[in-house]
Amino acid sequence: MSSIQINNVTKRFGDFTAVEDLSLDIEEGEFVALLGPSGCGKTTTMNMIAGIEDISEGSILFDGQDLSSTRIQDRNIGFVFQNYAIFTHLSVYRNLSYGLEVKKINKSEVDSRVRAMADRMSITHRLEQPASSLSVNEMQKLAIGRSAIVEPRIFLLDEPLSNLDAGFRAYMRAELKVLQHEFGQTMIYVTHDQIEAMSLADKIAIIDQGKLMQYGSPLDIYNSPDNRFVANFIGSPGMNLIDGKLREEKSQLKLMVHGGAEIPLKGQVKSNFTSDGSVHSGSFGIRPQDIYFGDKRSSNDIEMKGIVDVLERVGPKRIVHLQVSETNFIAFDDQDQLKLGEKVSFFLPSEKSMAFDHSLIKNIKINKPLMIAGNIQLNDNLENYKKIADIIDISGGLETSGLKDKSKIDIFLNKVKEIHNET
């Protein structure tokens, strides 16, 4: 077993930064998932841990030792790829025995360990057959077994289940967890599948655009996302995230949403929005399963009225889409009591609701023109938007009753002239 410390690691390919200032502490025997969208830097991070890619800046330590100058084959790391990487010209037996033979393990022990692993992977009946004759599912079993049999101190898995059918993926997830407990290995698992990450990992590192968004246990990340990206990425169906502007009317703080909807803020979520006095806009977040119907349960819960727009059957439950003006909320109709087109009251528990400001965007480096759009108004500080964006879509903010308003356009153009000092 081995602990891993990733310290301020950056990886550049020419002018492109694939991983930026990434730090993770992985304890001995932990199962850690690197989770994020395609191209976010997950596989690059794993390749740096394995020694396949050099580090541009920072360091990676194994049990406190820097192995950057140590050959890959001498690091005692097992690697399972998405594309299996097995010896198709050899028998299943020889694939399993190969790593043990390289380590010069005596023949009787090799045979014992090969047959034990084949039994574990349910491929004993295939031992004498060529690996090329295996099914896709069996090939991935063999790939995992071949890496696990040498008992590496660190086990790296790069999307190993993505090519498998859904039923077999569920089976292999359970098998991987059993293997990890049996051998006590430190495992790092790259995936874009949140179900895999949530079901397998002790901790999850969520990465986007090469930067660490959050690192913690699955439940911590699900219940307490650090930012809007994490909140949106974790959960199925995804969290309701409603963007708007803060406005106080008659001592009541509201989030004013595009299309005319208003969310009156109460309790904890109100405190979260107002904790930073400089925040004037943001996103209201609530998980679909936390929205409820019927009688109000707490004085701080937020009552909304909407129209049942869509009903979707998902197993024993129904997902309901609720239309409030031009804003859509997703919830669960647990009692099968709602009807399409009816107007209903529903409640947003304040203690389950979340507030996200838009400050995260300031810390994201994007090598492309960036446009900000959505509920931007004339009274906003355009100078602040200019600091983080190349393009500002203010079209809706220049309208009155759905039509462009010449007086508002003139005001906007004068503001732009002041900022740029040009016509």
Q: What percent of the chain is modeled with pLDDT above 70?
A: 90
pTM of the model: 0.78
| Annotated domain spans of the chain | 4-233, 240-356, 368-420
Q: What is the pLDDT of residues 131-183, one digit of tens each?
A: 999 988 888 889 888 888 888 888 899 988 887 777 888 888 888 888 888 87
Query: How far apart are the C-alpha atoms of 328 and 108, rounded to whole Å?
Result: 65
Tokens of 66: 């820097």
Query: How far apart are the C-alpha atoms of 377 and 396, rounded to whole Å?
Result: 8
Query: How far apart are the C-alpha atoms of 103 and 109, rounded to whole Å?
Result: 12
Q: Which of 4-18, 80-94, 109-123 is the least confident region?
A: 80-94
Bridging pattern class, strands 371-373 and 354-356:
unpaired
Class of domain 4-233: alpha beta
Query: How far apart are the C-alpha atoms of 221 and 32, rounded to whole Å?
Result: 13
User: Which amino acid is it at 72?
Assistant: I
Helix (H/G/I), strand (E/B), else coil: 49: helix
Q: What is the pLDDT of residues 289-313, one digit of tens each?
A: 999 999 999 999 999 999 999 999 9
Q: Which CATH superfamily is domain 240-356 in?
A: Nucleic acid-binding proteins (2.40.50.140)
Helix (H/G/I), strand (E/B), else coil: 112: helix
Closest CA to 286 of 331, 320, 317: 331
What mean pLDDT is reported for the chain? 86
Q: Which pLDDT belongs to residue 423?
A: 45
Q: Which pLDDT belongs to residue 109?
A: 94
DSSP 316: T
Residue 368: pLDDT over 80: no
Tokens of 311: 């009903």
Which H or E run includes 302?
Answer: strand 302-314
Q: What is the pLDDT of residues 48-74, one digit of tens each?
A: 998 889 999 999 999 888 887 777 777
Q: What percent of the chain is modeled with pLDDT above 90?
A: 45
Q: Mean pLDDT over residues 84-111, rounded?
A: 90
pLDDT band at 417 (very low <50, low <70, confident <90, very high): confident
Residue 334: pLDDT over 90: no
Helix (H/G/I), strand (E/B), else coil: 154: strand
Alpha helices in 184-266 (DSSP H): 194-200, 218-223, 228-233
Residue 87: pLDDT over 70: yes
Is 150 within 8 Å of 77 (Cβ atoms)? no
Helix (H/G/I), strand (E/B), else coil: 392: strand
Q: Which of 21-25, 194-198, 385-389 is the least confident region?
A: 385-389
